Amino acid sequence: MTGEARPPALHARLLSLPPIGRAFEASSEAAHATEFADRDIQAYEVYGFRPVETQRLFWYRWIAGHQISFVLWRAMCDVVSRHPDGVPAERELDVLAACVDGYSAMLLYSSTVPREHYHAYTRVRMALQHPSFSGTWAPDYRPIRRLFRGRFPWQSDPSCAGLGEAIARNGVTHDHIADHLVPDGRSLLQRSAGAPGVSVSREKEDLYDNFFLTVRRPISHAELVAQLDSRIADIAADLAHHGLYPAVDGHHHPVVTTGSGVMDPLVAGALRVLDRAARLVSQLRLEDVRP
Ligand code: HEM
């Protein structure tokens, strides 16, 4: 065999997160010593040409992109909960904005699934899990929903302008990928009998966690960082091998092309944006935070 790189494993893995409202466990100094790996950000092609195992690749991307988003949401929740009243410090606002952009990068990464494939497989599996399966059930999003809505009083402070811009970019990104994958604009929740706005039961949150291979158990902040780190290494290997938009059945399926506004930096820079967020999260010491 000459030069053809082996495809990455693409195994979705179980993610452990603390129960909502529960602080991180204390961790040993040894665990801190193994915090975030120093790595070069690998470049990747936007348009890939290598053969793709379609089912495996896009299932993997859907799960990994969501899991990384959950970790970023959890990190954001811990920063926000430190400041029930006042404005977070500049460094913390940077962490929040970087996490929001990292989440936007994961929206793009997850939604690189070709539309037909999304409707034939991904969406069918979510609808089988529950007919009104919805992002509104995401347990880790609940505590920071107010942040995404700009409802914390401190968010009007001028120092929060950068965070506000990241949140606006995130809104554009979510709307764009939703329109791209579901052009008729109706989510599973809206299609089913359940109307948006109904409160989310514990059972629905568990169904959501369960779908995305997420278990709740006490973990330390160092374990959170380690899980983020290993997932970034995995998606870096995926992107290096397949590109952001792989050719499926001879065609590329771009979600957004370069030169198209606020999502532009994410197309070639998804990994860099994510890595920056992860690096800032790893520098936080949150074991002492009580939500
Ligand atoms: C790529 C992965 C996705 C993630 C991580 C995600 C995440 C979320 C989250 C966290 C919410 C709750 C927002 C809130 O309560 O303020 C939400 C709501 C929503 N999402 Fe997504 N979303 C994704 C993909 C999609 C897609 C493909 C659609 C296409 C229809 C979509 C349509 C909606 C709609 C319409 C809502 C409003 C509530 C509802 O009707 O379910 N999302 N999403």
Chain segment 87-138, per-residue pLDDT in tens: 999 999 999 999 999 999 999 999 999 999 999 999 999 999 999 999 999 9
Q: If we measure between CA atoms, which residue out of 65, 118, 66, 93 comes closest to residue 270?
A: 65
CB of 163 closer than 8 Å to CB of 93 = yes
pLDDT band at 30 (very low <50, low <70, confident <90, very high): low
Closest protein CA for atom 30 of ligand 1: 187
Ligand 1 neighbourhood includes 132 CB (under 6 angstroms): no
Place of tokens 């693409």: 10
Residue 132 belongs to domain spanning:
44-282
Number of domains within the chain: 1
- Is 7 domain-assigned? no
**Amino acid 205: pLDDT:** 97
**Amino acid 52: pLDDT:** 95
- Is 13 domain-assigned? no
| pLDDT tens string 252-290 | 999 998 777 889 999 999 999 999 999 999 998 654 444
pLDDT band at 195 (very low <50, low <70, confident <90, very high): low
**Amino acid 167: pLDDT:** 98
Gyration radius (Cα) of the chain, Å: 19
> How many helices and strands, by DSSP H and E, does the chain display?
11, 4
Spacing, Cα 30 to ligand 1 middle (Å): 39
The DSSP secondary structure of 123-139, one letter per residue, reads: HHHHHHH-TT--GGG-T
Mutation test of ligand 1: which of 108, 122, 134, 205 has the most ligand atoms closer than 8 Å to its C-beta?
134
Ligand 1 neighbourhood includes 72 CB (under 6 angstroms): no
Spacing, Cα 5 to ligand 1 middle (Å): 36
- Is 26 domain-assigned? no
Closest protein CA for atom 12 of ligand 1: 136
Place of tokens 């007919």: 131
Of the listed ranges 6-15, 23-32, 107-116, 197-206, the one predicted with least confidence: 23-32
- Is 35 domain-assigned? no
Question: Residue 1 above 60 pLDDT?
Answer: no
- Is 22 domain-assigned? no
**Amino acid 193: pLDDT:** 62
| pLDDT tens string 135-152 | 999 999 999 999 999 999
- Is 170 domain-assigned? yes
3-state secondary structure (DSSP) of residue 15: strand
- Is 116 domain-assigned? yes
229-233, Cβ contacts within 8 angstroms, sequence gap of 24 or more: 229/36, 229/37, 229/278, 229/282, 230/13, 231/13, 231/64, 231/67, 231/68, 231/71, 232/68, 232/271, 232/274, 232/275, 232/278, 233/37, 233/39
Mutation test of ligand 1: which of 177, 187, 256 has the most ligand atoms closer than 8 Å to its C-beta?
187
pLDDT band at 187 (very low <50, low <70, confident <90, very high): confident
Instruction: Answer whether 0.85 is exceeded by the pTM.
Output: yes
Ligand 1 neighbourhood includes 192 CB (under 6 angstroms): no
Question: Residue 46 above 90 pLDDT?
Answer: yes
Q: Which atom of ligand 1 is nearest to the CA of 185?
A: 30
- Is 21 domain-assigned? no
Spacing, Cα 59 to ligand 1 middle (Å): 17
**Amino acid 154: pLDDT:** 96
